[in-house]
Every structure is written in C-alpha cells, then in structure tokens.
C-alpha cells in the first residue's frame, strides 16, 4: 500500500491511524503505518510530554504525528472559567435530572473529571504545540479547520507536514489556500465530528478540488478492500480512527463499553451534538436520545456543551451506566466484532488490500501480470 505520500513519510503502508492512546499510536507506526496521537484530552503540558516520551521509547524509530483541535482565529483573554459562566442553569439542571433518572453516582469528593474538552482553547492548544515541536513529529493534523497561519509557518520551518480535516470540497479549498500540505477528506460515516457528505462522493470531489495536494480518505474504512477503494478514488492513503478502539492496546475506560462496541452494528450510531456541541458521530444511547429529544433544552454550541457534560461523561464511564454509556465511533463499528492487536488489524488490512487489487486485475484481464 505505497503512495507518493507514504514514501515521502517513510512508511510501509499508506494507513494513517488516529487514536487518543499512545500505545495504539506507537503500535500503528511499528506495524508500518503512521500513528497519530490525538492531543485534545491533554490539558497539562507535562501529561503530553510524558506520553510523547513513551511513544519515542516504543515506536522503534518509526515516524508518527499529532492531532490537535485548534481554531484558525485567535480568541484572546478567554479562560475556561469565563466559558463555564456562559452555561445556562437550565442546561445544568437537565444534566442533573438525567443522571438522577438513571441513578448515576456522584464522583468522590475532590475527584476531578477525567474528560474535559479544553484542547480547543487557544492557550491550551499552543501549549500542546510547544511540547510537540520538541519531538520529531512528522505530521501535525488539525481537526478544526486550518491551523493559524503562524502555526503552519512554524511547522514548515521544522519540516513538519500540516494536515487538516475537511467535510466538503469547499472546506478543502480553504485549507489549500491556507498553505496546508495534506487534506483529510472525512465522510459522513466517520466517527467524531463529521459533515453530511459520504466518503464515496466526498473523496473524489476533494481530490479534484485540491490536486496536486495529497488527500487522505476518512470515514467508513475498516478493511483492505475499503483502503483499495479509497486509493482508487484518488486518495494517497486512508485515515482510520474508529477501528483501533477495540484493539488490545487501546485503553478504553470501561469493559462494558468495549462489549457495546463489539456488539454494535453499523446502524447503531448517530450524529449528535450531545458530546461537544457540534455534530459528532457516536454510539446511539439513551444519553444522546435525551439531548436530541425536542422536549429537552437542546444542546449548547461548542465549547459550552463539552464543558457542560464533562463531569457527567466521567461519571457515566466510571460507573459504567450501560444505557448512557457511549463513545465517538463511526459506522464501521459494525465490522469491529472481535478484539485484535494492532498488528493483527494491519495483517487483515494488507491481506484484504492484496485480494481487492487481485480481484480488480482479474476483472481487467490483468491477472498474473
């Protein structure tokens, strides 16, 4: 699975794996792909530094990257406390009532939430970058549009490629104009924040719009056949996120959540604003249903919603309250029906890719050439 971009980065397979787990990122790179560590959950620089140190020690010298969530425009002087103060009491009461309805216990006194979407904030993201640029990362991806111009310039000065996610050709063109190096075309099927255009339509549209910039296809990819399809559509690689959640190296906080992922079908996800305030594909649960119910107060815009539900999500996960228990995941969850190591996933991807290419060659009358 070699492309111009994979050769440029020195990786064996044009498979880019996004994950919040350092062990998974390192294993992806060791297996011949390109591991990308998600940084949004790191609120303290020393935590990110600790995990990048770990990756450096376990990646066997293979390349890897970092994914941040950073707005293109600066918002000066806004603190987390300022944002918290904007959350209406009606919404806070709705959270309390919903948790009480399902008997979700309180956190212990003094116990802080382990899940807070604060990496979007300018000062937090920049502290993450100050740490990251002290390591030999090869790619910096931004999940919230193009990074600020000075960040792109700084990355380029250090020889780091910059990628940005796009849900439409229009978004992709803005990334190209901003000077990014790689566009990740993220289809409707993808887990997490995603748009409304399916991968089969989106990928060639973005390829045609931004060429000759390399494009990675994301959303609905979990087999070698699907990687082959992505390359056939003009992409120079596949960007996979959900598939790694059920690997043995992943550190999901709840055994019951893993069971729910393994049992879920491709129709068991929903695009909901319940988690962050922006449409994000995730497991459908009674928590997402409550927020999407017209009788409720409705979700708040990003980042208010993420801050509002942070403690609630931590409590739901800690106490494994099954009706409410969920996670961002794409429609490919229907293929995630067994626990495998990252290497086993790669073996399956490469085998499936070879079979798909052979199949197309036979159709084209090129078998054996």
Q: What per-residue confidence (pLDDT) applies to 119?
A: 47
How confident is the model over 182-188, as a mean pLDDT? 98
pLDDT classification of 117: cutoffs 50, 70, 90: low
Least confident of 138-152, 155-169, 202-216: 138-152
Asked whether the predicted pLDDT for residue 70 surpasses 90, the reply is no
Q: What per-residue confidence (pLDDT) applies to 75?
A: 54
Please tell me which residue, 120 or 108, carries the higher pLDDT value: 108
Whole-number average pLDDT of the chain = 93
Reported pTM:
0.93
Q: What would the pLDDT profile of 201-240 be if each residue is shown by its tens digit? A: 999 999 999 999 999 999 999 999 999 999 999 999 999 9
SS (H, E, C) the chain: CCCHHHHHHCCCCCEEEEECCHHHHHHHHHCCCEEEEECCCCCCHHHHHHHHHHHHHHCCCCCEEEEECCCCCCCCCCCHHHHHCCCCHHHHHHHHHHHHHCCCCCCCCCCCCCCCCCCCCHHHHHHHHHHHCCCCCCEEEECCCCCCHHHHHHHHHCCCEEEEEECCHHHHHHHHHHCCCEEEEECCCCCEECCCCCHHHHHHHHHHHHCCCCEEEECCCCCHHHHHHHHHCCCCCEEECHHHHHECCCCCCCHHHHHHHHHCCCCCEEEECCCCCCCEEEECCHHHHHHHCCCCCCCCCCCHHHHHHHHHHHHHHHCCCHHHCCCECCHHHHHCCCCECHHHHHHHHHHHHHHHHHHHHHHCCCCCC
> pLDDT > 70: what percent of the chain?
93
Q: What per-residue confidence (pLDDT) applies to 300?
A: 94
Q: What would the pLDDT profile of 233-278 be if each residue is shown by its tens digit? A: 999 999 999 999 999 999 988 899 999 999 999 999 999 999 989 9
């Amino acid at each position: 699975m070699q492309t111009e971009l994979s050769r440029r980065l020195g990786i064996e397979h044009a498979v880019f794996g996004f994950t919040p787990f350092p062990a998974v990122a390192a294993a992806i790179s060791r297996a011949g792909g390109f591991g990308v560590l998600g940084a949004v959950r790191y609120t303290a620089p020393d935590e990110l530094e600790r995990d990048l140190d770990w990756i450096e020690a376990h990646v066997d010298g293979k390349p890897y990257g970092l994914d941040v969530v950073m707005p293109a425009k600066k918002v000066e002087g806004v603190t987390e406390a300022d944002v918290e103060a904007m959350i209406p009491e009606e919404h806070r009461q709705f959270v309390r009532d919903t948790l009480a309805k399902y008997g979700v216990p309180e956190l212990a006194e003094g116990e802080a939430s382990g899940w807070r979407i604060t990496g979007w904030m300018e000062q937090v993201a920049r502290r993450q970058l100050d740490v990251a640029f002290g390591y030999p990362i090869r790619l910096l991806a931004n999940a919230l549009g193009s990074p600020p111009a000075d960040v792109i310039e700084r990355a380029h000065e250090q020889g780091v490629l910059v990628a940005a996610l796009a849900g439409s050709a229009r978004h992709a063109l803005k990334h190209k104009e901003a000077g990014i190096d790689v566009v990740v075309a993220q289809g409707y099927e993808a887990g997490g924040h995603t748009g409304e255009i399916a991968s089969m339509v989106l990928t060639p549209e973005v390829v045609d719009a931004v060429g000759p910039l390399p494009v990675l296809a994301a959303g609905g990819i979990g087999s070698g056949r699907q990687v082959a399809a992505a390359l056939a559509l003009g992409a120079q690689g596949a960007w996979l996120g959900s598939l790694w959640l059920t690997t043995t190296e992943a550190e999901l906080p709840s055994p019951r959540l893993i069971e729910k992922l393994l049992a879920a079908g491709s129709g068991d996800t929903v695009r909901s604003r319940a988690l962050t305030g922006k449409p994000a594909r995730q497991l459908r649960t009674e928590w997402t249903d409550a927020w999407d119910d017209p009788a409720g107060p409705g979700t708040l815009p990003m980042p208010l919603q993420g801050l509002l539900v942070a403690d609630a999500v931590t409590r739901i996960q800690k106490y494994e309250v099954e009706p409410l228990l969920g996670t961002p995941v794409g429609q490919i969850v229907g293929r995630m029906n067994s626990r495998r190591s990252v290497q086993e996933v790669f073996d399956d991807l490469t085998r499936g890719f070879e079979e798909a290419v052979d199949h197309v060659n036979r159709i084209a009358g090129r078998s054996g050439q």
